[in-house]
Amino acid sequence: MESPIKIGMLDSGVGGFSVLREIVKALPGHPVHYVADNAWCPYGNKPPRDIRARVLRIADYLIEKGCGIIVVACNSATIHGVEMLRATYPLPFVGMEPAVKPAAEMTETGIVGVLATEASIAGEKFHRLITAHANGVRVITRPCPRFVELVEGGVLDGPEAETAIRAEVMPLLDQGADVLVLGCTHYPFLRPVMEALVPSGVSIVDTGCAVTRRVIRLLGTDALTFPNGDRSPALTIETTGDLDHVTRLMPLLLPNLGRPAAVQHVDLLNGEANS
Ligand code: DGL
């Protein structure tokens, strides 16, 4: 049997696990190679040029490792890098798109709040998305770097998480937002606490499932093969940062993996330094 198309995934850190968990659920046994760029985390405060250099480096590596589809499981990297990646390589790239379109259809107050990184909010692609899909709806934005710190620190609930969520979300609700878009892949890990804190009429939307559906469409019949061979684990997770950091977070962020995962450290320096 021919090998299935390996899925490559990348994020600044463990945020893309919120997409990975959906992919693993939908495609059990399908080979996935995930790179968490913890040595450069966060991306949200980096200039677009630096974000592009990182995604190019990681995409190169994932292609070298045999990936045939790459999920850019990071909104900041998608906004600043996915068009460049598509123009550079002949394979499909699936990016994250903040769920502005569904949110604009759902809102009753006509006000949508988008929580995303500073880099994403400043991105031209993000503004194009609003122009294209938020017709007649007011979109208010809020960068939440603290949320990334909390998730990378394994703090998904408790007083610290609640205080941070209140501080970011309440100003959006005070301005009338009744739909909140989670425009960063780290944020869905705080969703349960967020849901408990917001009034019942407020909806929260994210993009993990939509991205998974897109991956399944691109895989076509390949998505139906689950050859989790005996020799290599179907899921490889690598970090450019501290291996213990990611290993510690695995049971918390990916509790129902249901398959073996190899977690390793990888050095991926920019450009020639690594060649
Ligand atoms: N998880 C990423 C995103 O979706 C990046 C967060 C960060 O590194 O600042 O934007």
- Using pLDDT thresholds of 50, 70 and 90, give the confidence band for residue 273: very low
Residues 121 and 175 in one domain: yes
- Using pLDDT thresholds of 50, 70 and 90, give the confidence band for residue 269: confident
Cα 109 from Cα 138, distance rounded (Å): 9
Digit-coded pLDDT (tens) for 247-257: 999 999 999 77
- Using pLDDT thresholds of 50, 70 and 90, give the confidence band for residue 92: very high
Q: How much is the pLDDT for 256?
A: 79
Residues 84 and 127 in one domain: no
Separation of CA 1 and ligand 1 centre (Å): 37
Q: How much is the pLDDT for 232?
A: 53
Of 190, 206, 222, which residue sits at a domain end? 206
pTM score of the predicted model: 0.94
Residues 87 and 214 in one domain: yes
Q: Which of 95, 104, 120 is nearest to 203 (CA)?
A: 104
- 42 assigned to some structural domain: yes
Residues 75 and 108 in one domain: no
- 220 assigned to some structural domain: yes
- CATH number at 26 reads 3.40.50.1860
Written as six digits, the tokens of 229 are 């061979």
Written as six digits, the tokens of 273 are 């330094």
Cα-based torsion angle of the residue sequence 254, 260, 261, 264 in order, rounded to the nearest 10 degrees: 140
Separation of CA 134 and ligand 1 centre (Å): 23
Mean pLDDT of 73-87: 98
Q: Rounded to an integer, what is the distance from CA 194 to the centroid of its chain?
A: 18
Ligand 1 proximity of 148 Cβ (cutoff 6 Å): yes
Cα 196 from Cα 175, distance rounded (Å): 20
Cα 164 from Cα 150, distance rounded (Å): 9
- 114 assigned to some structural domain: yes
Taking the CA of residue 186 as reference, the ligand 1 atom at the shortest distance is 1
Ligand 1 proximity of 55 Cβ (cutoff 6 Å): no
- 24 assigned to some structural domain: yes
Separation of CA 229 and ligand 1 centre (Å): 33
Q: How much is the pLDDT for 222?
A: 73
Q: How much is the pLDDT for 274?
A: 39
Residues 109 and 195 in one domain: yes
- 15 phi, psi to nearest 5 deg: -60, -40
Residues 82 and 125 in one domain: no
Q: Which of 53, 58, 52 is nearest to 81 (CA)?
A: 52
- Using pLDDT thresholds of 50, 70 and 90, give the confidence band for residue 132: very high
- 1 assigned to some structural domain: no
Digit-coded pLDDT (tens) for 31-76: 999 999 999 999 999 999 999 999 999 999 999 999 999 999 999 9
Residues 75 and 86 in one domain: yes
- 137 assigned to some structural domain: yes
- Using pLDDT thresholds of 50, 70 and 90, give the confidence band for residue 135: confident
Residues 131 and 153 in one domain: yes
Ligand 1 proximity of 58 Cβ (cutoff 6 Å): no
Of 206, 222, 249, which residue sits at a domain end? 206
Cα 265 from Cα 275, distance rounded (Å): 17
Cα 220 from Cα 29, distance rounded (Å): 16
Rounded to the nearest integer, the mean pLDDT of the chain is: 92
Digit-coded pLDDT (tens) for 184-232: 999 999 999 999 999 999 999 999 889 999 999 999 877 655 555 444 5
Residues 243 and 108 in one domain: no
- Return left, alpha or beta for 52; rule: phi > 0 is left, psi -120 to 50 is alpha, else beta: alpha
Q: Do strands 111-116 and 67-72 pair parallel, antiparallel, or not at all (unpaired)?
A: unpaired
Q: Which of 67, 96, 104 is nearest to 211 (CA)?
A: 96
Mean pLDDT of 25-31: 87
What is residue 72's three-state secondary structure?
strand
Buried b (16+ CB within 10 A) or exposed e, 110-130: ebbbbbbbbbbbbbebbeebb
Residues 57 and 109 in one domain: no
Of 188, 206, 224, which residue sits at a domain end? 206
Q: DSSP character for 71? A: E
8 A C-beta contact, residue 37 and residue 57: no
Residues 117 and 85 in one domain: no
Ligand 1 proximity of 117 Cβ (cutoff 6 Å): yes
Residues 192 and 175 in one domain: yes
Q: Which of 32, 39, 16, 42 is nearest to 189 (CA)?
A: 16
Q: How much is the pLDDT for 272?
A: 47
Count of Cβ atoms closer than 10 Å to residue 153 Cβ: 12
- 167 assigned to some structural domain: yes
Domain span including residue 105: 100-206
The number of domains in the chain is: 2
